[in-house]
Structure 1
Amino acid sequence: MRVLHFYKTYYPDTWGGIEQVIRQMCVGTGRLGVTNEVLTLTPDKTGPKEIQFEGHTVHRVPLDFEIASTGFSFAAIRKLARLARKADVIHYHFPWPFMDMAHFMARINKPSVVTYHSDIVRQKNLLRLYSPLKRRFLHSVDTVVATSPNYQASSPVLKRFAHKTRTITYGLDKSIYAQPSQAVKDKWRAQCGERFFLFVGVLRYYKGLHILLDAMTDLDYPVVIVGAGPVEQELKEHAARLGLTHVMFLGAVGEDDKAALLELCYAMAFPSHLRSEAFGISLLEGAMYGKPMISSEIGTGTTYINIDNETGLVVPPDDPQAFAAAMRTLWEQPERAAEMGRRAEARYWELFTAETMARNYLSLYRELALKHANKRAGVRERTV
């Protein structure tokens, strides 16, 4: 079984949540016998065009230009057509409007699945122009995969394609995470303290970190923010205006450091307040490390990971007072927080392992390949 993944960014250029999911898909299904390839765009004009990464091949074509965060590449269309010829299944990752266009321009006629990572939330004017192409693309693929039952139930787009949509949740493989040395853990314990709240992620508008900062105005708990991104400077300035000396911005850190901080933290603070946060990979990482969580109810996968009063606390979105109250509850009730963390880890092992995700996708790949083969056989019989 050969599967070709197509997405706008991937390792080693970017290390975001969707890239992590594709990585886990490739590693997990690779262990089950799938040969995976990833086609992606890169701004690196001089780097290698092909990379071997954790058992799968990454094909990199030049990024020509971007419009509204949508990368375009003329070379990608030709490359997609060539790679698709030897693939059994094409696996698309939505949203990426150029991908829809490339699918038709490359004249793909292979079994196809699209993992629907998120609705398009912010670019409403461009969405009106893009909607006809989006509907045509989603109509043309064989199966659409929602990443949580919460998102499938709340997305108006997925409701339109309910007849071809199924749910396969994200999964993570803890064994491929770094094993930090005692020296690394001691370094971060000395810097961050014995108990601290942790946020990990790209610093984007929908992550709601301004809400977390506002929540901290009357609290003095240590908060560690890991990640870089477009609103980083804006957030630092906001923290300075509020006089938040107990909030630490660490920027992007290495895998050893990230794993150490996940292991050491007291709880995860995840204030995303918009539906652009469709799942929350770092929230799931917190569950994997047995940490209680605080998140907001936004009708997405965050509340499939974090069950209110079971694995953590769920608060209304964009409500600093409610978020502060939840932080105070966890901080002042360590036994309750620890029990929530144990339940979070148990839920991870039950629902969110990479092995489970890989088995589900392999079953889908085989189903689509068989259906396509039977369809082609039927066409041949009718023409004989």
Structure 2
Amino acid sequence: MKDGLLRYYAKRTAQALFTAWATLTITFAIIRFMPGGPMDFLLAKLMMGSMGPGQSFSSPTNPEAVEAFREIAQLYVDIDPTQPIYVQYFDWFGDVLQGNLGRSIFYGEPVMEVMAPVIPWTVFIVSLAVVMSFLQQIIFGGLMANYEGSSLDTRATTLFIWIQSIPYFVWAILLLFVFAFQYGVFPISGKVNPSATVGLNWAYVSGILNHAALPVISLAIASLGGGVLAMRANSIQVLGSDYVKNARLRGLETSRISVRYIARNALLPMYTNFLLSISYVFGGSLILETIFQYRGMGWVMYRALQARDFPLMMGGFILFTFATVTAIYVADITYPLIDPRIEEGESSESF
């Protein structure tokens, strides 16, 4: 492995680790210092309650109140407020690295136990939406580039600009109204068929696909417009390159030129966008799952927001952020596998 490629991997790894560390540090600062944040919220709940007859914690300096606050803070956010701040930070940081994100106030369970059952459902719809959108971007973008300047290209460009300008939640509401409320083609809410037996049977699997259809289509449409226009621009640039012109002069078949020369090189910049779109779709799942009442990570985060369940909100924020950092990191370290210029020590920053 060449020195340039080693430096590339080292740089990308360092960037990912720094981003993850910065995210955790900012989260700790929000928990510990933000006015009205988790610590103030827990303290307010403690001061408003009582531990028995005549034992109301009306003063935060009351030794019993201090001890009770220490216990409740350790229980819900894994922070001991009586320790020096650097000790609090390193203890909390170590707990997070071990998967301990605190305890949900609303559910009364560890955050990871609340999130673990719903993570696969969000990953499922996100994966389907990203793959569906990416395939459509390649097909439509390539066709538009092939007919550059025609009425088809002009109309399609206008259409996809219009699609890109509409937020995903508007698409979700429109699809829900038309295909669920008006025509009843898809269910209004939920993620499985309650009458089906859980397992690898058609009734259960078809119910999952049926409930996921509208959320997936909403996410796919929302990320379609920009990707199609980017693929069109990449393809037009490749079509005008010298090696494509030389291939045509050599009399190579059109199909071979389209696949081996045009599509392969036009897809290189799209690869990074493909993985980055995962983070965009993950972020949109909070509102989307709430609209469709699809009980995934976004739906749990919305319930946590309603209940002012700060530990669960912070835990969900960490998981969403780490999913984004991981997607970017995977895009960076796998890019040299499809772009040989990276192996020569060149940077892909221009993409």
TM-score, with length taken from structure 2: 0.19
Task: Decide which structure has greater helix share.
Answer: 2
Task: Decide which structure has greater strand share.
Answer: 1
TM-score, with length taken from structure 1: 0.18
Larger Rg: 2
| Higher RCO (Cα < 8 Å, 6 or more apart) | 2
